C-alpha cells in the first residue's frame, strides 16, 4: 500500500477471482464459464463493430436493450446493461445501501457481496445457511433491511422457489431485494415476472455463463423503471460507456440466437446430472445444484488435497478454504468429455490416497 492510498480503503480486502493460469493447458472447471463457444453470428457482430472502434459506444445500448426486452418480455425502461453483472451489483450497493440502509446476504454466497459493501462503506450482516447448505427463506421475512440473494446460490447451486422469493420481497416493501440470477438458466425459476408487481425487486443476470460471453463482460438488471433510473444515475456518474460497442453487438446477436444458448444449457444440465451420479457413486456428497456447477465433498479426501491433486493432473476446480465448506469443491460443468477426464482423475486420486493411507 502506498502512503497515498485513501484511509477509507485501508481495510478493504479485494475479491479474489478464480485463477486463470497460463502455465499449461488445463481443463478449466473453476470459473463457471460455458464449455461451448458463442454462436458464429456473435463473432461476426464483433468483427463488424471492431471496424468502428474509433467511435464511442451507444451509452443507452439501444439495440441490445430492445433485444433483451423482447427475450425477457419486459419494457426497455426496465432494463440496464452493465459491464458484467458484477457492475450492476456494485451499482445496486451504491444506489440503495448506506449506513442507514444496511444489507444482508447469506454467509455462504458469492464472495463479491461483502467486498461491494466494504468498498462503499455499507454495514452488512451475513445470515448463516441451514446445515444442509440451503437458504432459510424465513430468515429474510420482514427484516426491514436490504437483501441480496443469489438464486441459485453460489457455490452450493441450491435454489429458493419463486413463492419463497415473493414472500421475501413482499414482506420487506421498504427495502430493496436483489436477486442475483447469474445461474438461473440451468434450472432455476426467474423472478423477472415479479418485477412488474414489486417496485423493490431488482433481478440481475449475466451473459457470462449461459450465453458463453464471460470474456465480453455483459450483465444487466431488470426492475421497476424508477429503480432502473436510479441505477442509470450511478452509471452516468461513473462510466457512461460501460458496455463497449463490440460487447453490445455481441449481446444483441446472442439474444437473436437465444435457442442455440438454451439448447447448450440443456446439454449442460444433462452433463451435470451425469457427473453428479458418477460422483455419488464414488461416495461424494453432492448438493442438488441447479447451476452450471456441482458442489461436492467426500470423507475419503480432503477438499484442498483433491483440488491440488486435480490441478497437478491438469484439471482446475475451485476450492474455498473457508468453513464450513473447506471440505468441498465447486466443479464447473464442462462437456461430457471434460467431465469424463475429471471423473477418471478423481478416481485415480482417490485410489492413490487410499493406498497411501494403507501404507
Ligand atoms: N453473481 C454470481 C453469483 C457469480 O458467481 C458471478 C460470477 N463470478 C457473478 C455474479 C458475476 O459475473 P459476471 O460479472 O461475469 O456477470
Pairing of strands 201-206, 219-223: antiparallel
**Residue 356 has what pLDDT?**
81
Assess if residue 8 is contained within a domain.
no
Assess if residue 318 is contained within a domain.
yes
Nine-digit cell string for 193: 415476472
Per residue in 191-243, pLDDT (tens digit) is 999 999 999 999 999 999 999 999 999 999 999 999 999 999 999 999 999 99
Per residue in 73-105, pLDDT (tens digit) is 999 999 999 999 999 999 999 999 999 999 999
CA of 184 to the centre of ligand 1 (A): 12
Domain shared by 143 and 155, yes or no: yes
Residue 20 has pLDDT above 90, yes or no: no
Query: From atom 1 of ligand 1, which residue's Cα is the shortest distance away?
Result: 182
Instruction: Please report the DSSP string for 55-68 in residue order.
Output: SPP-TT-HHHHHHH
**Residue 205 has what pLDDT?**
98
Average pLDDT over residues 255-259: 97
Tell me which of 208, 230, 256 is where a domain ends.
256
Distance between CA atoms of residues 148 and 13, nearest Å: 20
Assess if residue 7 is contained within a domain.
no
**Is the CB of 247 within 6 Å of ligand 1?**
no
Phi and psi at residue 148, to the nearest 5°? -125, 125
Distance between CA atoms of residues 321 and 328, nearest Å: 9
Residue 249 has pLDDT above 80, yes or no: yes
Domain shared by 68 and 209, yes or no: yes
**Is the CB of 154 within 6 Å of ligand 1?**
yes
Residue 198 near residue 169 (C-beta atoms within 8 A): yes
Domain shared by 280 and 333, yes or no: yes
**Is the CB of 291 within 6 Å of ligand 1?**
no
**Is the CB of 243 within 6 Å of ligand 1?**
no
Confidence of residue 3 (pLDDT cuts 50, 70, 90): very high
**Is the CB of 109 within 6 Å of ligand 1?**
no
Element (H, E) at 310: helix 303-312
Instruction: Please report the DSSP string for 96-145 in residue order.
Output: H-BTTB-EEEESSS-THHHHHHHHTT--EEEEPPPTTS---GGGGTT--S
pLDDT mean across residues, the chain: 97
Domain shared by 169 and 274, yes or no: no
Domain shared by 199 and 264, yes or no: no
Confidence of residue 355 (pLDDT cuts 50, 70, 90): confident
Render the burial of 183-205: b for 16+ CB within 10 Å, e for the rest. bbbbbbbbbbebbeebebbbbbb
**Residue 30 has what pLDDT?**
96
The CATH number of the domain where 341 resides is what?
3.90.1150.10
**Residue 18 has what pLDDT?**
84
The CATH number of the domain where 191 resides is what?
3.40.640.10
Residue 17 has pLDDT above 80, yes or no: yes
**Is the CB of 180 within 6 Å of ligand 1?**
yes
218 closest CA partner among 188, 254, 264: 254
**Is the CB of 208 within 6 Å of ligand 1?**
yes
Domain shared by 311 and 244, yes or no: no
Domain shared by 97 and 237, yes or no: yes
Query: From atom 7 of ligand 1, which residue's Cα is the shortest distance away?
Result: 182
**Is the CB of 86 within 6 Å of ligand 1?**
yes
CA of 191 to the centre of ligand 1 (A): 17
**Domain containing residue 21:** 17-35+259-357
Tell me which of 231, 256, 281 is where a domain ends.
256
Q: What is the DSSP letter of 26?
A: -
Domain shared by 209 and 275, yes or no: no
Assess if residue 263 is contained within a domain.
yes
Q: Which atom of ligand 1 is nearest the CA belonging to 217?
A: 15
Domain shared by 267 and 216, yes or no: no
Query: Residue 87: how many CA atoms within 13 Å on its side-chain side?
Result: 23
Domain count within the chain:
2
Average pLDDT over residues 131-143: 97
**Residue 177 has what pLDDT?**
98
Residue 359 has pLDDT above 80, yes or no: no
Assess if residue 190 is contained within a domain.
yes
Domain shared by 190 and 279, yes or no: no
Distance between CA atoms of residues 211 and 83, nearest Å: 15
Q: Which atom of ligand 1 is nearest the CA belonging to 208?
A: 15
Domain shared by 66 and 84, yes or no: yes
**Residue 23 has what pLDDT?**
83
Tell me which of 211, 237, 256 is where a domain ends.
256
Distance between CA atoms of residues 45 and 248, nearest Å: 9
Domain shared by 27 and 118, yes or no: no
Amino acid at each position: 500500500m502506498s502512503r497515498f492510498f485513501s484511509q477509507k480503503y485501508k481495510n478493504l480486502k479485494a475479491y479474489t477471482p478464480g485463477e486463470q493460469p497460463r502455465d499449461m493447458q488445463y481443463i478449466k472447471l473453476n470459473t463457471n464459464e460455458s464449455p461451448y463457444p458463442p454462436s458464429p453470428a456473435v463473432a461476426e457482430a464483433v468483427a463488424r463493430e471492431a471496424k468502428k472502434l474509433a467511435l464511442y459506444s451507444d451509452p443507452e445500448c439501444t439495440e441490445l436493450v430492445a433485444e433483451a426486452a423482447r427475450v425477457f418480455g419486459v419494457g426497455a425502461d426496465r432494463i440496464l446493461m452493465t459491464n458484467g453483472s458484477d457492475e450492476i451489483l456494485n451499482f445496486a450497493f451504491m444506489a440503495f445501501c448506506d449506513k442507514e440502509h444496511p444489507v444482508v446476504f447469506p454467509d455462504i454466497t458469492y464472495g463479491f457481496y461483502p467486498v461491494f459493501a466494504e468498498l462503499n462503506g455499507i454495514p452488512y450482516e451475513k445470515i448463516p445457511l441451514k446445515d444442509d447448505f440451503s437458504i432459510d427463506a424465513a430468515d429474510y421475512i420482514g427484516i426491514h433491511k436490504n437483501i441480496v440473494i443469489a438464486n441459485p446460490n453460489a457455490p452450493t447451486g441450491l435454489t429458493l422457489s419463486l413463492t419463497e422469493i415473493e414472500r421475501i420481497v413482499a414482506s420487506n416493501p421498504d427495502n430493496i431485494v436483489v436477486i442475483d440470477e447469474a445461474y438461473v438458466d440451468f434450472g432455476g425459476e426467474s423472478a423477472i415476472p415479479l418485477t412488474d408487481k414489486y417496485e423493490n425487486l431488482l433481478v440481475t443476470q449475466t451473459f457470462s455463463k449461459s450465453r458463453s460471453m464471460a470474456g465480453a463482460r455483459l450483465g444487466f438488471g431488470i426492475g421497476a423503471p424508477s429503480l432502473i433510473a436510479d441505477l442509470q444515475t450511478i452509471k452516468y456518474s461513473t462510466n457512461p460507456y460501460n458496455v463497449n460497442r463490440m460487447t453490445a453487438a455481441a449481446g444483441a446477436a446472442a439474444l437473436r440466437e437465444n435457442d442455440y444458448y438454451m439448447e447448450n444449457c440443456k446439454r449442460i444440465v444433462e452433463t451435470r446430472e451425469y457427473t453428479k451420479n458418477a460422483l455419488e457413486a464414488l461416495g461424494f456428497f453432492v448438493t442438488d445444484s441447479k447451476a452450471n456447477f456441482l458442489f461436492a465433498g467426500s470423507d475419503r479426501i480432503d477438499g484442498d488435497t483433491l483440488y491440488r491433486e486435480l490441478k497437478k493432473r491438469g484439471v482446475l476446480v475451485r476450492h474455498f478454504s473457508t468453513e464450513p465448506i473447506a471440505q468441498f469443491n465447486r466443479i464447473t460443468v464442462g462437456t461430457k468429455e471434460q467431465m469424463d477426464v475429471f471423473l477418471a482423475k478423481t478416481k485415480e486420486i482417490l485410489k492413490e490416497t487410499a493406498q497411501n493411507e494403507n501404507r
